[in-house]
Amino acid sequence: MLPGSIQMSGETLSGAEVRGVCEGLAGGTVTLLSLRGCHLSDRDFSRLCHGVSQSPSLVQLNLNLGVVSGTDRVQQLSQSLQTNRSLQGLLLHGNPLTDTGLSLLNPALSTHPSLVSLDLGDCLLGDEGIALICGLLPPDGAKPGLRELTLSANPAITCLGWARLAIAVAHSSQVRTLNLDYNPLGDHIASMLAVCVASSRTLEVLDLEGTGLTNQSAQILLDMVQNYPTPLKSLVLSENNISTELQQQIADLLSEGEEEEDYDGPIQERPVREKGLKQTQGT
């Protein structure tokens, strides 16, 4: 655990514990706050959001697995993010946001001056939510645009929604990591994504684990990797009906093209990303 991080998982937080967290936030000593799957009262959640709004130092906030459990909490979180200026990564995986909840968050997300990483996996999103997310991707001078986007396990998104996302990523985004695992994409949507990858100047990681792909789309992805130079370094295709040989060919080509790059940015502790559907929704 890095200095300045508070990490708890699945705990029931007392009022005293929440006050301690809020003091750290307001005092500028907390950079990473993870309350993954934790339980706290509505009053304490309100206090927590106030602490987030005041924090000059918070870089990453993990509220995965049901912490943002209703509309009131979504609204409070949105209000806190409209005041906060430091947050770079927001993880809301496994919260029952729906498109309605995302629309409540959108005013804060779309104007935040520092946010570059967003996890909305397993959030019951549909095509209306995708339309909002597409608007978060490009930088506009006042905000940097998203560089990492997770939309795992949102099966209500249709082909139209995924097509819209693929166009947005290819055209004007800064996205480097795109996690779409455990969505029923199928070969047709995967083919759209191949065009997206070939067009993108920034995309380095694409996770398509468990998305219903076959050798048909894998062959298209292989052709793309073979014939079109892209920044892509990692393409996850496990848990699909794709031959081991095709997966290995793609992996070998990507590893051949990968060049080591020096990274001069700050070292941050990265969370373990949630994979697959979680049982917390609707509870």
Angle at 276 between CA 247 and CA 74, to 5 degrees: 135
The answer to whether residue 33 is domain-embedded is yes
Q: Is residue 25 part of a domain?
A: yes
User: Are residue 217 and residue 109 in the same domain, yes or no?
Assistant: no
pLDDT, one tens digit per residue, over 46-79 is 999 999 999 999 999 999 999 999 999 999 999 9
Does residue 226 share a domain with residue 116? no
| In a domain? residue 74 | yes
Q: Residue 140 — very low, low, confident or very high, per pLDDT cuts 50/70/90?
A: confident
What number of helices (H) and strands (E) belong to the chain?
9, 9
Q: Are residues 184 and 101 in the same domain?
A: no
Please check whether residues 38 and 125 belong to one and the same domain. yes
**Average pLDDT of the segment spanning 100-108:** 98
Give yes or no: residues 31 and 116 share one domain. yes
Instruction: Give a yes or no: residue 40 inside a domain.
Output: yes
Cα 58 from Cα 52, distance rounded (Å) = 7
- Provide φ and ψ at 258, rounded to 5°: -80, 130
d(CA 49, CA 45): 6
Residue 266, pLDDT > 50, answer: no
Domain holding 70: CATH number? 3.80.10.10
Question: In this structure, are 64 and 10 located in the same domain?
Answer: yes
Q: What is the pTM of this model?
A: 0.92
- Assess whether 6 and 107 both reside in one domain: yes
Provide the domain count of the chain: 2
Specify the amino acid at residue 155: P
Q: Are residues 26 and 104 in the same domain?
A: yes
pLDDT at 258 over 90: no
Considering the domain architecture, whether residues 9 and 131 belong to the same structural domain is answered as yes
53 located within any domain: yes
170 is a domain residue = no
Give the per-residue pLDDT at 274: 83
Which pLDDT belongs to residue 3? 64
By residue count, the chain amounts to 283
Task: Look at residue 83 in the predicted model and tell me its pLDDT.
Answer: 97
What would the mean pLDDT of 109-138 be, rounded to a whole number? Answer: 98
Same domain for 133 and 20?
yes
Q: How high is the pLDDT of residue 88?
A: 98
Range of the domain at 4: 1-139
CA angle 179, 185, 187 (to 5 degrees): 115
185, part of any domain: yes
With 70 as the cut, is the pLDDT of residue 133 above it?
Answer: yes
Same structural domain, 127 and 202: no
135 and 193: one domain?
A: no
